Amino acid sequence: MTVYEEIFEVIKARKAAFENNTAEENSYTCYLFEKGVDKICKKVGEEAAETIIAAKNNNNDELKNEINDLLYHVMVLAANQGLEWSDVEKVLSERNEKIGNLKQFHTTDKLS
C-alpha cells in the first residue's frame, strides 16, 4: 500500500466517523466534511494557488509542502464526492499508457 492509499484510508475513516457522529473533536478532516463541498473546494483552490506561488518563488522546500497540502485536500474532495483513490489512480494509469502521443494543436497559417 502506498502512502497515498494509507492517507486516503484515514480520510475515509474520518468521513465515516463524521457521518456516524463519532468524529474526533479536533479532527481537521472531519471539520472539512462538516463544512461541505464548498469549503473543501475553496481549500483545494487555496492550496493550488500556494503551490503555484512556491514554484514561482523557486522555493522547493515550500513547494514540496504545498504539493502535499494540495494532494491532501484533493483526497478529501475525492472522498467527499464518493470517489475511491483507486479510481483516480486508474485514470492516471490509463493516461500513462498514452505517453508520447502529443496532441496536435491547431495552427493558423498567417502568411496566406
16 pLDDT tier (thresholds 50, 70, 90): very high
pLDDT tens profile 30-87:
999 999 999 999 999 999 999 999 999 999 999 999 999 999 999 999 999 999 999 9
Backbone angle region of 82, left / alpha / beta, with phi > 0 → left and psi within -120 to 50 → alpha: left
Residue length of the chain: 112
Structural domains for the chain: 3-85 (1.10.287.1080)
State the Cα–Cα distance between residues 74 and 76, nearest whole angstrom: 5
pLDDT of residue 98: 79
pTM: 0.84
**Is the distance from CB of 34 to CB of 12 less than 8 angstroms?**
no
Give me the torsion for CA of 95, 57, 50, 105, rounded to 10°.
Answer: -30
